[in-house]
Amino acid sequence: MGHVIGPYGVRGWIKVSPYTEYIDGLLDYRSWWLNKENEDHWREISLIDGSVSGNVINVHLEGFEDRTQAMQLKGMQVAVPRSYLPVLPENGNLGYYWSDLIGVRVINLHDEVLGNIVGLFETGANDVLRIRSTCADKKAKEILVPFIAQYIIKIDLKLKQVTVDWNKDY
């Protein structure tokens, strides 16, 4: 739901870049789960206080009282248990969270596999799908596809597949 940018001030506060629809969305949860990317060890930490500052939130987490302690959190991913999130409708385009799309295979209208979704990000104009593909020379390549109806044809979470109107060579 976000990631820690780094310390904020000298009293243990941190700056967080949220991935939520609303900048202050993460402040609704009294505890967060943190871990380093690509690790399986999540740690629950209570939120003491927080505020919005432009496109980031500044927060104070329990157990972090100085800048040195806060620095340990830099780069960590922020999550909350799915059970904390609002229940989504089962049908329609809003029946999933971005996290549901991570790892899903992406194919185009020619049934060519483009790769797997590794993330999404906002640009202001629209969201963008990040797809990691392995080329013939085995080097990973990232493909960016605007997450808009013109290019996203179908999302099928049961098949774990997204169909896009996007050529391999774009």
Q: Where in the chain is the domain with CATH 2.30.30.240?
A: 98-164
DSSP states along 86-109: PPPPSSSTTS--HHHHTT-EEEET
How does pLDDT run across 128-168, given as a tens digit for each residue? 999 998 666 667 789 999 999 999 999 998 999 999 999 98
Grouping H, G, I as helix, E, B as strand and the rest as coil, residue 45 is strand
The DSSP secondary-structure symbol of 71 reads H
Per-residue burial over 34-59, b if 16 or more Cβ lie within 10 Å, else e, is beeeeeeeeeebebeebeeeeebbbb
User: What radius of gyration, in Å, describes the C-alpha atoms of the chain?
Assistant: 18
Does pLDDT of 96 surpass 60?
yes
Q: Which CATH class is domain 98-164?
A: mainly beta
Q: Domain 2-83 in CATH: superfamily?
A: RimM (2.40.30.60)
Report, as an integer, the average pLDDT of 113-123. Answer: 88
For strands 13-18 and 2-8, give the pairing. Answer: antiparallel
Does pLDDT of 70 surpass 80?
yes
